Structure 1
Amino acid sequence: MAGLFANDSEQIDRRTSRSICDAVGERLQQSIRPEPRLPTHLERLLNELKQRDRDSH
């Protein structure tokens, strides 16, 4: 591991490192995030509200 830090010209500053870590973290969250799914009962209620809204117009 010491070989990674032997050449100071290859190091990046703390701010750049933080930006890279944040960007990688955001992309990982987007790619592994499961689709949000409501419980069946709530889905049914929302569908009923949508239908009533359509019927009232």
Structure 2
Amino acid sequence: MASLLANDSEQIDRRTSRSICDAVGERLQQSLRPEPRLPTHLEQLLNELRQREREPH
């Protein structure tokens, strides 16, 4: 990676690089957050609803 930076005519300082890395890390954490789970009772009700929908009428 250092060799790639050495070939660039425009370099960024350490502080700017750290800021960019922090911002990218924050955005990744936000977009990769696990989806919140439903309360157990609601999950059970949804499962029951799905089962009833699959049953022949």
Place the TM-score, normalised by the shorter chain, in its bin.
0.5 to 0.7
Superposed, 1:5-44 pairs within 5 Å as 5-7=6-8, 9-37=9-37, 40=40
What is the TM-score of this pair, normalised by structure 2?
Answer: 0.52
> 1:53 corresponds to which residue?
none
Q: Percent identity?
A: 85
Which runs of 5 or more residues in structure 2 are unaligned?
A: 42-57
Q: What does the per-residue CA deviation read over 1:2-53, in whole Å, with 9 as the maximum and x for residues that have no partner? A: 354134x411001000000000000001101012326627xxxxxxxxxxxx
Taking structure 1 as the reference length, the TM-score comes to 0.52
Q: Give the 4+ runs in structure 1 shifted more than 4 A.
A: none
In proportion to residue count, which structure has more helix?
Answer: 1
**RMSD across aligned positions (CA):** 2.5
Tell me the matched-pair count: 41
